[in-house]
Amino acid sequence: MGNFVKRIKRKLKNLLFKNYRNIDNDKSIELKQLDNFHGNNKVFNFEIGNNSYVSFNSIIYHTTIGSYCSIGPNVVIGYGDHPINSLSTSPSIYLNENIYNKKEIDEVLLPHFKRVFIGNDVWIGANVYIKNGVKIGNGAVIGAGAVILKDVNDYEIVVGVPGKVIRKRFDDAIIELLLKSEWWKYDASILKKHKSALSNPTEINLKEMIKNLSNERE
């Protein structure tokens, strides 16, 4: 009976995925997360938090995304590097089925996929490219069309090619309170009780929210 149920779930999952996105050998995505994807997405070795979404036509490899994140269309995250110091940059030289048919070449030349970590409450605009191995902090904003080649700190706004920090979303005192609150760990139904802090994150409102959220934990 258990195997039968698993087969039915697998068939249902495959059927639903056809309407939402393409998927390559990725078994980590749960059915409840289908609403996180807007369509024609391609992901592999991928994790996504609660209340986050990925818009159309995005390709995301080897990436962990936190909660309450907004990923725009046509975003590419986590693509591998090619070895520029070897004879050729072509994968036909160094992948498992390379022209020499030797696995040793793969082991020497293939440390080129590094995981991307994207924090919580991150907004990534359309047509952004994020290099593998990059870490993006909580609350960061990546402007449309940016190319991100290095880490982005909490609440920084980054634009351009290559990406450059233009400012922070809030001053340091507010950022400290936001990070302390860890509000992204809570369900939206709880956060709705704190409309003042959500719409106007002043020190007074955030301190009140932190106090009330700590009571929610108890």
Instruction: Tell me the two tokens of residue 159.
Output: 């634009």
Q: Which residues pair with 45 in a beta bridge?
A: none
Residue from 62, 82, 112, 194 carrying the catalytic annotation: 82
Q: Is 82 a catalytic residue?
A: yes
Q: Exposed/middle/buried for 153, CB within 10 Å: 0-12, 13-18, 19+?
A: middle
Is-contact 144 26, C-beta < 8 A? no
Alpha helical stretches, state H, the chain: 2-20, 91-94, 103-109, 172-181, 188-191, 195-199, 203-217
Is-contact 65 49, C-beta < 8 A? yes
Instruction: Tell me the two tokens of residue 39.
Output: 């369509």
Q: Which residues pair with 116 in a beta bridge?
A: 63
Q: What is the 3-state secondary structure (H, E, C) of 130-191?
A: ECCCCEECCCCEECCCCEECCCECCCEEEECCCCEEEEECCCHHHHHHHHHHCHHHCCHHHH
What residues act catalytically?
82
